[in-house]
Amino acid sequence: MKYTENKRPWTVLLLTALLVIYGIMGIVSGVMLIVDPSGGLLGFTEEYREKVPFNSFLPVGLFLFCIYGIGPLLLAYGAITRKEMAFEWASEMTGRHWSWTGGLSLMVILVAWLLVEGYLIGLDFAATYFTVAFGVAIFIALMLPANVRYYKGAR
């Protein structure tokens, strides 16, 4: 896909940095739950484990590792390089680079995740506030006019 803007604005670097940090957070928290499915490494007690529909936090750890870990790192690579890789179909379908659309999709997943988390165990955790703040920052970075223009395809 060809794009209307060729000069990379500094806002792309901001978006990429936020996605990388978010991805590292996802990998670290995911690995912690994979290594200790009781959730003890993240401070979860038996009370919280009883509230989730699993016997352990292993499924949560795998989700965090893949969706919030690997996902944002892949999006960051796409955001900084604007390479299509295997996702050109997504860029063609939406008229925007797949990493931009993927970033928005990640924020939708975050909102859904927070709704489920809030329902099951509540949202009163420092890590949750930090995650929400990062999600808002990523959303704002995606919506910056320079980024919207940079990732828009030429039709």
Q: Where are the domains of the chain?
A: 10-150
Full-model pTM: 0.92
* pLDDT tens string 74-128: 999 999 999 999 999 999 999 999 999 999 999 999 999 999 989 988 888 888 8
Q: What tokens were used for 78?
A: 């796409």
Backbone dihedral region of 69: left (phi > 0), alpha (psi from -120 to 50 degrees) or beta?
A: alpha
Confidence of residue 44 (pLDDT cuts 50, 70, 90): confident
